[in-house]
Chain A
Amino acid sequence: MTKIEQVDKEKELLSKAISGDKESFGQLYDFYAPRIFRYIRLKVGSQALAEDLTSESFLRMWNFMQKEGTEIEESFKALLYKIAKNLIADYYKRKSSHEVLLDDDFKEFLLQEPAKDEIKSKESAEEIHKALVLIKEDYQNVIIWYYVDELSVSEIAELMDKTEGAVRVLIHRALKSLKKELE
């Protein structure tokens, strides 16, 4: 499916879901749940917490859709990521420090299906994650969204309420910041 076809399909599913079609919401969940989980997981460092916040994101999304209905102008994707981003921010507001704990299960998590040739790449994934959590919040977000989740610059702009130009600059600076942490 091309990107345009995907966008159209998503609009159709969103429209049906707003009307109360659970099946359509289920399809949107199927596509986005793993992505939202991955984003949250990278930000909060705990599997259980990421699971809870992912569930919470979808519940809030459903409620928002039923409340706002056809007034929704943003894409499902943008809204969902915004909700997830806000939930993470809320979580951190209640923490004493902004430290993201790289708990023991993360290593295990990365090595869930270790094949000999994959172990090395899993270890470098852990190295990248350790560096990622040290850079600014916005930098972390754009790196995950652009390179991991493969959102487009315009999608990220919509999500962050910024211009596309500002997002490009942010991505460039984020990468620079991350490279510094890796050195």
Chain B
Amino acid sequence: MDKFVVKKIKELKGIKPNASWLESQKSFLLSEISRDEAKKQEGILPLPAFNFAKLLRPAFLTALFLIMALSSVATVGAIGFAQNSLPGDMLYPLKTAFEKTQFTFTSDENKTRLSIKFADKRIDEFTQIVNKPEKREDANKTVEEFTAQLVNAQKEINELKEKNAEKAAEVAKIVQAQTERYKETLTETEARLAYVFPEEKELEQNINNAMEEISKTEEMTQALVGSEEDVEIINITETEETEEASESEEAIVPSEEEKPQSSSIEFEEIQEEPKEK
């Protein structure tokens, strides 16, 4: 009976971590170590997030407790510990460092999508912590990070535009879909700010900067999405002129080239919206 049970236990050896996680974590660890070494040489204290051994155990336990208390996930087994952490939490730097590693290993084409994904996360984190006075500084940093991700996204789209205009327009559409939500979220938060900490000029300024970048991103994406459809309008116009000039008695059958007409109408409608606002 013993041998049978032992044989069964040994089947648990098959449990393995995800291979890509293993690899990316190694890179993350080694980069954190390098950063820590570099800072030591400069005489700067290592980041608290990395210097766990020097932190008092009770502080870590408190942070752990805070994470548990803040988590809104019903089943504990489903919690990705660091992934659900918020700015100011002990494991939060682990989350952002892992994002940086993801960014390093992603292709150029997908960098914008990743930047927007991170911008989404920052804005969500911001809404969760903005009303907590003890997280005031973290809220500031989070908005700054959000703005930085938008600036990254703009830069990446510009670079992609040089290589592949079609792909750039495709990505621009994805970004465009998010900018409205960002504006609404920040506007709503700004309105609430006056009641929570009226003196927070810095936060107000950061939110204004974020709104500016959102507008810039909107303009850029509209231009890109619009320019792709402009090309289609020109093509339709040329096709129509050619057909008019033709003396053929063949019945005019809707061609593939005429289909984009509907999207050009959409473009005009989109154009009108901002004016109405």
Contacts and interface: CB of A to CB of B under 8 A. Distances in A.
Contact of A179 (B5, B11, B13, B18): B5
A22 B30 contact: yes
A103 interface: yes
A29 B11 contact: no
A48 B34 contact: no
A7 interface: no
A54 B5 contact: no
A101 B76 contact: yes
A147 B10 CA distance: 6
Given A52-B82, A59-B50, A42 B28 contact: no
A43 B37 CA distance: 33
B60 interface: yes
A41 B9 contact: no
8 contacts: A22-B34, A41-B17, A46-B77, A46-B80, A55-B29, A90-B64, A148-B10, A179-B1
A178 B12 contact: no
B8 to A, nearest CB: 5
B22 interface: yes
B46 to A, nearest CB: 8
B270 interface: no
Given A20-B37, A22-B30, A94 B15 contact: no
Nearest to A97: B76
A44 B2 CA distance: 26
A25 B33 contact: yes
B237 to A, nearest CB: 54
Q: Is the interface of B mostly helix, strand, loop or mixed?
A: helix
A55 B94 contact: yes
Interface residues of B, number: 47
Nearest to B28: A55
Interface of A: 20, 22, 25-26, 29-30, 33-34, 37-38, 41-42, 44-56, 58-60, 62-64, 66-67, 90-91, 93-95, 100-103, 109-110, 112, 121-122, 124-125, 127-129, 132, 143-144, 147-148, 175, 178-179, 182
Nearest to B50: A59
A93 B61 contact: yes
A120 to B, nearest CB: 10
A63 B34 contact: no
Contacts of B75: 101, 103
A181 B209 CA distance: 61
Given A30-B26, A33-B22, A58-B29, A144 B12 contact: yes
B16 interface: yes
